[in-house]
Amino acid sequence: MIRQYLREKLTWLLLLIFIQLITLFVAYMDTSIPFEALAYIVLLQVVICIVFIWARYPKETRYYRKLTAWDHTYDLAELDQADSPYERIIHNAVASQTERYRKESTSHFLSLEQEKDEILSWIHEVKTPLTALQLMIERMPDDRLRAQMTYEWLRIHQLLDQQLHQKRIPFMHNDLFLENTEIEPVIVGEVRALKSWCISKGIGFDVSLSATHVLTDSKWLSFIIRQLLSNAVKYSDSSDIVIMSEEHEGHVVLTIQDQGRGIEAQDLPRIFDKSFTSTNGRLEGTATGMGLYLTKQVAQALRIDVHVYSVPGEGTTVQLTFPRENEMVRLAGM
């Protein structure tokens, strides 16, 4: 900061230098004034100025050094007390601006919380008539119409589920409950939810789980598997979806493999981007581009690595690599 300090005091330093030069010039032009004695006095004044600047530098820059190192939080206690009038002007301006931003931030946070609560309340209210509609669909005598209605009902249910979890994800660290989770019941529950859709499309499941348990949050794991299975069913026809797990170097790897349309090579790097719909999604006209995005967000919070491999026309493979148990223990202690 010494360079900035000297630049700040540059005009004063130039004024002092100019005065000393004028003094020497007058002594040089006026022979009645002893030049050597005056030059000695000028030298002493220069030394005194240098010592004064060296002594004042720490005190005059202390506040600004703190201001530079300040992490721009709303806590002004990190800043030193302002001493000089100009420092107090700066301190008061920063305090006033910080207080205004704090009020605005609090207001926006409360608005977002209220909006989130209203949306969550609305979603829960919609689930009641949706459940009643499901019971009515199950009693329909026409099998073809029942299958079509079930598919549309399932789409609405999944969209509501995505919206619900999207609002919860920013606060999911408050909702994590890590436990030794059995994989098979989670998968069976999600497969059962897609049963009618799979029957109408002639899709079966081949489940082979060598590794049976993982340390994770079962509710959020269900959400991840739900999104992946929905995509696999959506883009497959008359084929089996293979689900298998194994342990590799201390990690449990869960693989979901379909024989559907696959994903184009140019789409693969972007499938986890928010609102991105692949070529297949555009052809279907039903993709929202949110399923895999939310999956990635939840997986990152659970320290799960998600890798997708796909060949167009041959199918897609998704691998979930769970962290080692000791890594999750550290996460649980956070």
User: pLDDT tens-digit profile of 197-238?
Assistant: 888 888 999 999 999 999 899 999 999 999 999 999 988 888
Q: Phi and psi (nearest 5°) for 285?
A: 75, 5
Does residue 267 contact residue 293 with C-beta atoms inside 8 Å? no
Helix-strand-coil split of the chain, %, nearest 5: 65, 15, 25
Q: Is the pTM of this model over 0.75?
A: no
Q: How many CB atoms lie within 10 A of CB 43?
A: 11
Residue 314 exposure: Cα atoms within 13 Å on the Cβ side: 5
Flag residues of the chain having pLDDT under 50: 334
In which element (H, E) is residue 208 found?
strand 204-209
In 3D, which of 190, 270, 189, 202 has the Cα closest to residue 236? 202
CA distances from 287 to 79, 123, 169, 280, 291 (A): 51, 20, 20, 9, 9
Amino acid at 238: S
Q: What is the per-residue pLDDT for 173?
A: 80
**Entry field: residues in the chain:** 334
Token match 């059995």: residue? 182
* Rounded to 5°, angle at Cα 300 from 256 and 282: 55
CA distances from 289 to 162, 281, 282, 283 (A): 11, 8, 10, 13
Q: What is the per-residue pLDDT for 53?
A: 86
Token match 């006033």: residue? 96
Q: What mean pLDDT value characterizes the chain?
A: 84
Q: How many CB atoms lie within 10 A of CB 226?
A: 21
Long-range contacts of 67-71 (CB under 8 A, 24+ apart): 67/94, 68/1
Q: What is the per-residue pLDDT for 76?
A: 65
